[in-house]
Amino acid sequence: MRFGTDKFALQQRLWHLATRPRPVHKLEGILLPTALCPLAPEALFPGGSPKRALELGSGWGEYAVECLQADPDLSWVAFEIKSDRLRSALRRARRAGVLERLRLIPVNFGWFLEQILPPESFDRLIVNFPDPWPKRRHRKHRLIGPGFPGRVSGLLRPEALVELATDHGPYARQMLRVFGQAVDFRNILPRPGFRRERPAGAPGTRFEQLTRAEKGRAAYYLRFQFHPTEAAEKELADTRAAHK
């Protein structure tokens, strides 16, 4: 009981922090949740495009904008917390004429991902160069840890593609391990299970460029596909029913 009350209080506090007004919230293309429940598909995908991508930590928006330019049937939802990067991504999207199909959520993706996105909505999940937290005692802060596939599987459509990149070898190995142990995901790259060259069709990002210039080394690129087991399909059907 006590734990439940504390958890509720923490969630309320995080919610208050996440929705505290910031000038960037007023910009066209920013989508700020107004309640702790799934955002409406019309708000997330205003153009109604059939293909839908979710990006965590979109930075300056290069990946999103180039993918949107390449595919007019695609809509893109991204989480990014830094105001200057949100502004820069929106400017880039406006110039490229794809702003209508991009929605940026200016909220910490560690807090409410599962609560504010509707289940079974995305065909692609993209995480490019997540913070590597290289020190051993900080590894628990890494986004892609043991609980990550379970957190995102409810948001993905069957056969969704997971696209990951990092320049940090130990984190790449952790990504391989974490998804390798998740029964609902299959590694679609041949051994050793990652590539050191950017896959065809994957745009470059600012962070990739910066790390290449500073450290002079190639990144690791990983690709997994979501194939829900029967148990996961049943869970998805239950979640869908609960949201009706």
Ligand X SMILES: C[S@@+](CC[C@H](N)C(=O)[O-])C[C@H]1O[C@@H](n2cnc3c(N)ncnc32)[C@H](O)[C@@H]1O
Residues annotated as catalytic are 131
- Indicate whether 33 belongs to the interface with ligand X (CB under 6 A): no
* From 64, 65, 80, 116, residue interacting with ligand X (rule: CB under 6 A): 80
- Indicate whether 59 belongs to the interface with ligand X (CB under 6 A): yes
DSSP states along 167-202: S-HHHHHHHHHHHHT-TTEEE-SPTTS-BSSPPTTP
Q: How far is the CB of 81 from ligand X (least distance, A)?
A: 4
- Indicate whether 194 belongs to the interface with ligand X (CB under 6 A): no
Token pair for 125: 């999940």
Give me the numbers of helices (H) and strands (E) for the chain, helices first please: 9, 7
Range list of β-strands (E), the chain: 51-56, 74-79, 102-105, 122-128, 156-166, 185-187, 220-226
Q: How far is the CB of 113 from ligand X (least distance, A)?
A: 9
- Indicate whether 109 belongs to the interface with ligand X (CB under 6 A): yes
* From 45, 76, 122, 129, residue interacting with ligand X (rule: CB under 6 A): 129
3-class DSSP assignment, residue 18: helix
Q: How far is the CB of 54 from ligand X (least distance, A)?
A: 12
Q: Which amino acid is at 122?
A: F
- Indicate whether 208 belongs to the interface with ligand X (CB under 6 A): yes
Q: How far is the CB of 238 from ligand X (least distance, A)?
A: 28
Q: How far is the CB of 11 from ligand X (least distance, A)?
A: 16
- Indicate whether 221 belongs to the interface with ligand X (CB under 6 A): no
3-class DSSP assignment, residue 83: helix
Q: Candidates 91-99, 200-208, 213-221, 234-242 — which segment interacts with ligand X by CB under 6 A?
A: 200-208
- Indicate whether 82 belongs to the interface with ligand X (CB under 6 A): yes
Question: Quick check: bond before 192 cis, omega within 30?
Answer: yes
The dihedral over CA atoms of 106, 108, 109, 114, expressed in degrees to the nearest 10, equals -90
Query: End-to-end alpha-carbon separation of the chain, Å?
Result: 29
Query: Residue 25 phi/psi, 5° resolution?
Result: -65, -20
- Indicate whether 85 belongs to the interface with ligand X (CB under 6 A): yes
- Indicate whether 6 belongs to the interface with ligand X (CB under 6 A): no
* From 108, 188, 192, 237, residue interacting with ligand X (rule: CB under 6 A): 108
> What is the contact surface with ligand X in residues (CB under 6 A)?
57-59, 79-82, 85, 108-110, 128-129, 131, 205-208
